[in-house]
Every structure is written in C-alpha cells, then in structure tokens.
Structure 1
Amino acid sequence: MSLKIFSLLMTAFIVFTACKKEGCTDKSAINYNAEADKDDGSCVYNSAGTGGTLEIPDFYSFEDNKGNSTVQFQSQTDILQQLKEMVEVLESGTDGAILPNTIFNMYGNQDGNGGGNFSFYSDYGLAFQTSSDGEDQIRDWFYDLASASNYNGYTAANGQAGVLMSGSKKYLFDEKGYERVRLIEKGLMGAVFMYRALEVLLGEDYMNVNNSEAVDPENGEYYTKMEHHFDMAFGSFGVDTDFPTQVPDHSWGKYCNESDAALNSNAVMMDNFLMGRTAISNGELVERDAAISQIRLMWENIAAQQALHFLNSAKSTFNSDKAKTLHALSEAYGFCWILRYAPGETRRLTNFDYGTLIGSFTDNMWNMTTSNINDLISFIEWKYN
C-alpha cells in the first residue's frame, strides 16, 4: 500500500497528535519521558525497598561485596568488532571482487577469525546470534553484494551494477541502485544486536531468572544470571562504560550520539542502563522494568531518527550528487528495515504500518522521487512525533 493515501491527512493528523504525546512528565520519576507532553499516570518512583534512594554509579561498573567486578559482556564486544571489520572488507568491493565464501566465512566466524579476515580470534560469531526473522534476507544481500562487486570497474547506472564517486569517495551499487553493504551493516545491527538486546536479553525469559547467587564465583563468574543478561544487553548497544565521554565510531553507539541533539539519546540510554543494572543488583524489579521500557523506546527512536536523517540527506543531494543520494537512500532503507526488531510491547509501528513503510521504497532506487522521499519523511514523523 502506498504512503500517498496518507498524504492528504498527514498534516492535519500531526497537528492534532503532536500535542497529545503521553507519558511520564515528572522529572523526579525514574521513567521520565522527555518527549511526553501529557502525563498518563505511568510515573514510577525510586523506592530502593526501604524508602531510600539507589546509588547510581557514574559509569557502567558494578562490584560484589568483596570488590569483584560483576560485569562481563565480552561476547558482544567481539561480535561488534567482527561487524566493523566485516563492513571494512565489504566496502573494498569498490576496488575488487568479493567472493560469497569470504562474506559467509566472516558471518559464521570460520576458524575463529572469520576465515583469516578478522584481526583477532573469538569463540563467538554473528551468525550464531542472528534472529531467524530476517536472516534469509540478509544472506540474500550477501550474494547481491558479491555479484555487484564483480562490476567494480563499471560506472553504476539504472540497470547496471558498478561504482559511483562523490569527490574521492567510492560507492558500490547493484543494478537497482542499492548500496548493499549499508543494508548488510544495518540489517545485522538490527537482527543481531537490537533484536538480541531488546527482545531476548531484556525479555521476560531472560529477566525472570536467578538474581540471588553468583553463577560460578570459583571461576570468576561473580554475577547473577539476571545481572549477566542485562550486561549482555548493554554490551549489544556497543558503547564504552563511560559513554558518552568516549563515543564509538561504529554501530549503535555511533548513531546514538549522532541522534543526541534531536533525542537526548545519550543520556536516556546510559542513564537507564545504569538505573536498570543498579536496580537489579538491589533487587528492585519495578525500577528495572521501568528502565527496560525506556531503553526499548529510545533504541527504536534512534533507528527512526537515523532513517529521517538519511532521507533528508537524500533529498538535499537529489539533483546534485547521485552517489550521495543513493547512499543515503540505502542507509534510510536499512534503518527502516530494522524497525521490525522493536519489541511488540513498546513498538510504535503495527505490522500494517511497517509493511506500508518498507513498501514505499521503490524496488529500484533509481526510480525514487523527491515526492516518494517526502512521503516517507512525513510518515515517520507522524508515527514517531
């Protein structure tokens, strides 16, 4: 279904709904929502079980009563680095052909180092943590990129895979104008990290677990199961323990920081990760759940905000720089595609909304118009205002 059927009603609807954004408007509540214009009675206040207040640390650093660190999320750090190095290899398709086996070796972490393509060894891999919903699509994108890379010596055009340049920057596009490396990167950011953090690790099955005993202190596992699952979700977000003092140059931490001016996303994400973990360590599950809800909402907002950013970027270069336009449209499509991984409890889009959004990108990016782009922008602003 085309977004055009919404265009006549969109402006009026936004006018009426913009002032009705509901949520907790009390800044003293732990689930304060800076986006809310009207209080909906959902505010939750810190009780700490005894009427006191929880002591929230400045950094993501937690210890048991003997001074042992209870934080461990190395597996997520490893696969985030694998994604970064995988993308770097895929971007080299502008200068030489990339075999499908090379991509799948990295995805499955062949021999513990991506078939020799990674700079380090790890027991973990992207393929082992990818959501089954969407994995087939991502695998298809692997083949699409490998095929397009065979035409790295050609100039990309409608119906012709190849390379376009913007200044000294090269971009590899398939015959339909999609920059497949961007779809792969964003697809894995969603199907691995967003999905695993929000749906699995912060979901009921992984949160309703033992929180009174360390897993295996004799072997250095000083954390409870619940603490560890929450830490793994934090690790999936891909930021340093002192974020945003240090900001990563890839994945969700990068895009959270780039969304901060519009969403206050740095503070919302870090404050709620710190609050949620502190609540778990103190047995305060109401506070934990409030923090999880805010993490889920903001993570989805970041993806939507980045989709808007790239759609506006595509519009600004539409008549002047085809390489940048197709690049930005591919980024926007990728961020829209991963909105599917927002959990149902907090997700802004219905299944119908999601199908409408994705279906409003033309099958061939060369056929996108500024009208198409404006409709997409209006739709996202409507749903995420």
Structure 2
Amino acid sequence: MKRTLTVFSLFSVVMLGAASCKNDKNPTPDTTPKYDVPTTYNFANVDFSESTTRLGMITEMQNIMKAATVAKGTALDVAKLKSMFTNTGSPFATAAYNTAGINLKDQTAPLFQTDFNRFVDSLNTGAASGKDAAKGVAGWGVSSTNASSKFLLTAAGVNYAQVFNKAIMGGLITYQIVNNYMSAGIAESVDNSTVVAGKGTAQEHNWDLAFGYWGVPIDFPTNKTGAKLWGSYSTQVDSGYKANKLLMDAFLKGRAAIHAKDTKTKQDQATIILQAFERLTAAAALQEVKEVKESISDDIQRNSRLSECYGFIYSLKYNPKRKITDAQIDALLALFPKNFYNLTLEDVNKIRDAVAAQYDFQAVKDIL
C-alpha cells in the first residue's frame, strides 16, 4: 500500500510539473497599455485657459486689497470686490475677464462663499477707520523694520487680505482639484473617447484644468517663471516637502494615462495629487510659521504673517477629501491667540509642533 501511494505521488508531481511547464509556455498576456510620458506638460489638445483666467481674476482682487494699504485712510472698494467675485458689472481691468462667461463664486466651496463677505467686511474695518493699527484698534499699520510693508489690521491684529489670499487657494483651487477634477471629473462615466479639437476628451480636459489651477509653467520645475499661488508655494516649501517633482510627475503621468486609457495609473496619480494638496497646505502653514518667528518683535509684520498661517490652516476646512477632521482643524486654530498682538514665541512653537505632528513634518518643521 505504501509503495502504491509513493508511485501515485510521484505521478502527481510529474503531472503538476508538466502543467506548470505548459503554463510557462503560455503566460497571461500583459494588457497594460504601453505609452510614453513626456517631461513637460506638452500634450495634444490641451486647454486650461479657464483655470488661468480665474487665477487672473484672483490676482486682480488681491490688487484691489493692496491698493487700500497704500496710504492711511485709503478706501477699500468693497463693492468692486464683491462684483469681482460674481463677475457682474464688468469689474475687471482685464476686459477679457468681464466677457469670459465665468466667475469665481461658482467654483468655490459652499463654506467659502459664506466666508468671503466676512473676510472683505473685516478687512474694511481697518481701511474705514483711518486710524493707526494697534492692539484693540482696527487700522492701517506699518512694519517697524520695513517701511514699505503696510497692512490693514482688525482690532485683533488680523490681516484679512492675507486670510482671503490663503483661503481662496483652498476654497477654490484645492476644492476644485480634489472635489471635481481628481474625482468626479475623471470618473469612468465621464467621456474619454470623443475628442474635441483643442480640448481633448472630457476626462483629459478636466485633468488639464486641474493642472492649470496649480499655476505653473508647462516645463515646471525647470522653469519657474510666472508660477503663482500654489505654484509659488510648492516652490517655497520644496526644501522640506518635495511637492514640485511629486506633483509634476503625477500630473504628467496621469494625463498620459488618460490618453492611453490606463485607468489604474490615472487613479493612482489622482490620489497622489489629491493627498499632496492637503500636505502642501500644511507645509505652507509651517513656512509662514518660520516667517512669523523671523519677525516676532515686529507687531505689524508678525501679525500679517500670522494671518497667512491662520488662513492656510483655516482653508483645510474647504477640502472635502482631507484626512484631518473638523475637530483637529479647530484644535489647531485654537492655538492662535484671540488677539494676535498677544502672540508669544511659545504660541508659535505650539502651532508649529501641532501642524508638524499632524502631517508628519517633524523632521523638517524648521526648514519649511
């Protein structure tokens, strides 16, 4: 009986070996599409002009806010800012923006639409007062170390021009990239077959609009000329968080994958981009912490930079795909003093350490 089992076992091994050899001769074919990924964002049928137009609209709004800081008592054109947000009444100096048929409001997160009026009205308290900014007094302030640095501050020392600048980066740009273009905009239900001349397929066009919102040249980061908003900040923090290469590689690879109908690679790159913008927001906040510490004894300059840091952290609220929770964001914001004039170095370090711990930036928290 033992001998019979042994012979049978040997026979089984031989048959399995034969089957294995047979399978080796007919391996499962590799169905992964083969395609090249370019080194610059130079694809056929690319059009992200709608994104760059909106970035230009944001810049014009920022210029209106800057104009109110030229001299104490200069009026802030609140009505124009609100018209710019909705693109009504031809408010832009660039005529093409007025007739573009698009606006900023309809691309922003619902919460930002509510916050926008509050930001502008709060900024106006400093412009309308005609007073020198001081603790408890809304007004116009000048840096004690750089006379060309002028800001409008609330009585609590907040520069709402900077809060707006950072919040709209989260409330419009990040919101659209993560909530639309890197998710619903490239879903399989979205057309990726019909090519529209100059725009590509619907999926390709959505991906291109996301790239345009990043605000970098097509040959970035070799060429950084003209990089703005997130494109500027990804460069500023690149020594600690290598967002430039991470994002550029993902945008290039994902766009090539869409054209090649490589769904898995497309989704993988979209996930990289989605997650990178949340971490980039935290890195930018830490970069502002570094600048706050550099101007710790200059109340006016320090408060303005602290407003930038606050704006970045607050802007995380607009990101519907974030990992950080509302409670965690509120805990970070609670580390800021109720009046920015009361800021201490201990406060700054607590903000730095909490953000670094939340996003695993401890090793580079003083580099960013």
* Cα distance in 1 between the residues matched to 2:133 and 2:228: 27
Q: Does 1:201 align with 2:181?
A: yes
The answer on whether the counterparts of 2:123 and 2:161 sit within 8 Å (CA) in structure 1 is: yes
What amino acid maps onto 2:82 in structure 1?
F
The answer on whether the counterparts of 1:307 and 1:332 sit within 8 Å (CA) in structure 2 is: yes
After TM superposition, the structure 1 = structure 2 runs for residues 263-278 of structure 1, keeping only pairs within 5 Å, are 263-278=241-256
> Structure 1: 5+ residue runs without aligned partners?
1-47, 64-69
Task: Give the match's secondary structure for 2:46.
Answer: coil
Specify the alignment match of 1:353 in structure 2. Answer: 328
Task: Give the match's secondary structure for 1:200.
Answer: helix
After TM superposition, the structure 1 = structure 2 runs for residues 55-74 of structure 1, keeping only pairs within 5 Å, are 55-63=36-44, 70-74=45-49
* Cα distance in 2 between the residues matched to 1:157 and 1:267: 43
Deviation of 1:249 (Å): 4.7
Cα deviation code 1:268-320 (max 9, x no counterpart): 0100000111111101111111111111222112111111111122123212x
Specify the alignment match of 1:141 in structure 2. Answer: 119
Specify the alignment match of 1:180 in structure 2. Answer: 160
Specify the alignment match of 2:282 in structure 1. Answer: 304
C-alpha RMSD of matched pairs (Å):
2.0
Specify the alignment match of 1:23 in structure 2. Answer: none
Task: Give the match's secondary structure for 1:263.
Answer: coil
Cα deviation code 1:29-77 (max 9, x no counterpart): xxxxxxxxxxxxxxxxxxx9645653111111212xxxxxx21111111
The answer on whether the counterparts of 2:138 and 2:157 sit within 8 Å (CA) in structure 1 is: yes
**Further displaced range: 325-334 or 230-239:** 230-239
Specify the alignment match of 1:66 in structure 2. Answer: none
After TM superposition, the structure 1 = structure 2 runs for residues 90-109 of structure 1, keeping only pairs within 5 Å, are 90-94=65-69, 95=71, 96-109=74-87
Q: Does 1:286 align with 2:264?
A: yes
Deviation of 1:360 (Å): 2.2
The answer on whether the counterparts of 1:49 and 1:284 sit within 8 Å (CA) in structure 2 is: no
What amino acid maps onto 1:324 in structure 2?
Q
Q: Residues 343 and 291 (structure 1 numbering): CA distance in 2 closer, same or farther, change over 3 Å?
A: farther
* Cα distance in 2 between the residues matched to 1:240 and 1:293: 22
What amino acid maps onto 1:261 in structure 2?
S
After TM superposition, the structure 1 = structure 2 runs for residues 99-138 of structure 1, keeping only pairs within 5 Å, are 99-111=77-89, 113=90, 115-118=91-94, 120-121=96-97, 122-138=100-116
Specify the alignment match of 2:170 in structure 1. Answer: 190
After TM superposition, the structure 1 = structure 2 runs for residues 1-385 of structure 1, keeping only pairs within 5 Å, are 50=31, 53-63=34-44, 70-94=45-69, 95=71, 96-111=74-89, 113=90, 115-118=91-94, 120-121=96-97, 122-151=100-129, 153-166=130-143, 167=146, 168-204=148-184, 206-214=186-194, 217=196, 220-247=197-224, 248-319=226-297, 321-344=298-321, 347-385=322-360
Give TM-score, length-normalised by structure 1.
0.79
What amino acid maps onto 2:114 in structure 1?
D
* Cα distance in 1 between the residues matched to 2:122 and 2:35: 51
The answer on whether the counterparts of 2:243 and 2:280 sit within 8 Å (CA) in structure 1 is: yes
Give the length in aligned residue pairs: 323
> Structure 2: 5+ residue runs without aligned partners?
1-28, 361-368
What amino acid maps onto 2:331 in structure 1?
T
Say which one has the larger Rg.
2
What amino acid maps onto 1:311 in structure 2?
V
Task: Give the match's secondary structure for 1:262.
Answer: coil
